[in-house]
Amino acid sequence: MFTFSWAEPKTQSAQEPVPAQTSRLSPEEVECVGLSVWDEHCLECAPPQCYATCTKYLQREDTRCRRLSWGFVADRRHSGLFDYGVDCRFLPWAKIETRFSPAGRSPRAMRRLDRLHQGLVGTAMTVSRLLRPLLPGYTPHNLLIRGRNRWLERHAAVPGEGFDEFVLECVSAHQEPFRLVLQCIQDGRLRLQHAFNIEPGLNHHTLPFSRFGVAGNTGSTKVLLFPENDIECRLVFTWLHFVRYRKAASTATEAPAAKVKCVAWDLDNTLWNGVLIEDGADKLSLRSGIRETIVELDRRGIIQTVVSKNTLDEAWPVLEKLGLAEYFVYPAINWGAKSENLKTIARRLNIGIDSFALVDDSSHERRQVGASLPMVRLYTDTEATSLSAQDPFDVPVTAESARRRRMYQEQIQREEVQARFGEDYREFLRSLGMRLEIFTPTAEADRTRCHELLQRSNQLNLTTKRFSPEEFDELLRTSRCYAFRCEDDYGDYGLVGFLSLETDPHPRLENLVISCRIAQKRVEHALLFALVQELMQEGASELRAELIKTRKNGPLAAVFEDLPFERIEESEERIVYRLARFQELQAEGIVHTVLNGQPVGDSR
């Protein structure tokens, strides 16, 4: 939670809005969130003497020093844990701070608590302002804050079940990267100091809870966050919390996925012989067998990127000269931590970090990535040319997988167009001219691709159940099945999803899997709208779906939550959704849809 008492929304609204980004963490994936309230403070605070002597003193409404330009302001263009992001601009010497509490609440309980907190604080501020002539000093507000802090202290004395990670997610309004420093201080002793690299746009960082070194549940423990080198910066925070993930797959990210989806290549003495910064571009040569390996992985639909400590402007021309630049998407050629670069690439590709492999000659870099991301497969430079012979890289090759790289390159074009639309994301989607075709898969190539999606996809997968070829053939014979493909004015996404439907005793989605390449494009909504239109024509009165909870399929749960589905059953393992108000599901005019050759809704 955040202290909005000193917010100045008029000042914030006069600024250019920060374009919204899609959060990488759904509240559905989180079991528990730590109790914390963030306040603004000064790194060099020594009140009240500093108010009279400090040249940076800016008087806040309560006469204390303002270190955030407009305080914390809720911006509903963004969302994370709450249905808003928190927009703030750090001034010189600014920091934000919270008391650590080992106790926590579920995301839903935290949202209720946040609404109560904001309501009480808002009322107390109003009363305090009315009483100011008689009782200077914001007495009702200050009494409420002291009461809130005592309540938090009492809960801090109650041991919790522990957390998995600290999650920092924010959107940067700046074109240049910078760093945020996080500190944990217990009883005056520095327990942790860590710097996060903040890039333009969305940033998602995590730190294992064990890194904080918090001993026991007693004592005064504070968590501080401030920009490195005292810079001024504007950020919108969507997550700034200790979290414990749902237990259904609490250890899933500690192990690599069964198959690799993306290979990240180091450059110096890995992809090429030599070190660019020492030897110069003219003396570098491609290592034997590397080209053949890269071409074969590309043929199989395994995405490839570059994670190298070099300068992009110097390294990229070498890759172009070697004839390999076209094979790499979202390269991270910079001096940042490779673990952070890998997480950024995973976010941009919208695939799980556990499906990554890193090839690097440096044992130091492999150890650093292994310590931060134990789910990433690690390979030495001597293993590079044997990758395609290893089981994690043995994936089905289909027409879709063979052109997967081209699809991501088309997506990069879309992202460039999206930037011109600013915050109007739906208008950007309409400009794409998306077309969705839903059909019964009969061709062998289509059936193979559907099976591949069921085996590989995690985020947008209703059950994450895996099928043998024989089991999948049986499913096609015994259930009502649809595949769907999508394209737009910038390219063909290919066959992007599969569903199977049971109709006895009522229509029920048995399987639903959607490729991450069309996530957040309202294709899921258009698909369900088309399915409901067909069910209505058949006289059905409801549609059900049983989602098996995993740590990764929260994005699909968010789709059901965004539509007029209701939860009729819920446990730690599953959620049963029901849509009984078909008329509330409306066409959006974003995706033009055809089902079995017939236009649907406003596509007619």
Residue by residue, DSSP assigns 502-514 as E-SSS-EEEEEEE
509 and 452 in a common domain: yes
Average pLDDT across each block of 10 residues of the chain; the chain has 604 residues. List them in order.
Answer: 78 85 82 84 63 67 75 86 89 84 81 80 72 65 68 55 83 88 82 85 83 62 85 91 67 72 94 91 93 93 92 92 92 88 86 91 86 91 91 81 76 74 78 92 91 82 88 92 90 89 88 83 89 90 89 79 88 89 82 90 50
For residue 325, give the DSSP letter.
G
53 and 151 in a common domain: yes
Judge whether 102 lies within some domain: yes
pLDDT single digits (tens) 154-171: 655 444 557 888 899 999
Residue 504 Cα to chain centre, angstroms: 37
Provide the pLDDT for residue 5.
74
263 and 198 in a common domain: no
* Structure tokens that stand for 128 in this block: 């305090």
Of 393, 420, 447, the domain-final residue: 393
Q: For residue 478, give the CATH number of its domain.
A: 3.40.630.30
270 and 133 in a common domain: no
**Cα dist from 470 to 35, 165, 448, whole Å:** 49, 40, 12
Provide the pLDDT for residue 207.
81
Residue pointed to by tokens 């970090």? 353
For residue 337, how many C-alpha atoms fall within 13 Å in the half-sphere facing its CB?
17
419 and 538 in a common domain: yes
Residue 326 Cα to chain centre, angstroms: 27
Judge whether 4 lies within some domain: no
Whether residue 164 contacts residue 243, with contact meaning beta carbons closer than 8 Å, is answered with yes
38 DSSP β-pair partners: 2
| Cα separation, 307 vs 53, whole angstroms | 48
For residue 139, how many C-alpha atoms fall within 13 Å in the half-sphere facing its CB?
7
305 and 207 in a common domain: no
159 and 31 in a common domain: yes
| Cα separation, 451 vs 2, whole angstroms | 46
Provide the pLDDT for residue 379.
93
* Structure tokens that stand for 413 in this block: 């074009």
Q: Per the omega criterion (within 30 degrees of 0), is the bond before 48 cis?
A: yes
60 and 42 in a common domain: yes
Of 245, 279, 308, the domain-final residue: 245
**Three-state secondary-structure class, residue 291:** helix
Q: Per the omega criterion (within 30 degrees of 0), is the bond before 256 cis?
A: no
Judge whether 175 lies within some domain: yes
Provide the pLDDT for residue 509.
92
Q: For residue 367, give the CATH number of its domain.
A: 3.40.50.1000
- The H-or-E segment that residue 594 falls in is strand 591-595
Provide the pLDDT for residue 144.
66
Provide the pLDDT for residue 577.
92
115 and 62 in a common domain: yes
| Cα separation, 21 vs 446, whole angstroms | 33
* Structure tokens that stand for 324 in this block: 């390999």
Q: 83: closest CA among 36, 29, 27? A: 27
Q: In terms of DSSP bridges, do strands 39-42 and 178-186 run parallel, antiparallel, or are they unpaired?
A: unpaired
- What is the chain's length? 604
Extract long-range pairs of 366-375: CB within 8 Å, 24+ residues apart: 368/337, 368/338, 368/339, 369/338, 369/339, 369/342, 372/337, 372/339, 373/339, 373/342, 373/343, 374/254, 374/255, 375/253, 375/254, 375/255, 375/256, 375/257
Judge whether 209 lies within some domain: yes
Judge whether 27 lies within some domain: yes
Domain assignment of residue 212, given as a range? 9-245
| Cα separation, 450 vs 274, whole angstroms | 43
Judge whether 1 lies within some domain: no
| Cα separation, 516 vs 409, whole angstroms | 15
Extract long-range pairs of 140-148: CB within 8 Å, 24+ residues apart: 141/5, 141/62, 144/120, 145/5, 145/121, 148/37, 148/117
Q: 169: closest CA among 189, 198, 210, 147? A: 198
Of 393, 426, 446, the domain-final residue: 393
Provide the pLDDT for residue 176.
87
**Three-state secondary-structure class, residue 422:** coil
291 and 216 in a common domain: no
409 and 325 in a common domain: no
pLDDT single digits (tens) 438-489: 999 999 989 999 998 888 777 788 888 888 989 999 999 999 999 999 998 8
295 and 187 in a common domain: no
Judge whether 482 lies within some domain: yes
Provide the pLDDT for residue 367.
85
Provide the pLDDT for residue 447.
92
Judge whether 314 lies within some domain: yes
Our count of domains for the chain comes to: 3
Residue 124 Cα to chain centre, angstroms: 36
Whether residue 34 contacts residue 104, with contact meaning beta carbons closer than 8 Å, is answered with yes
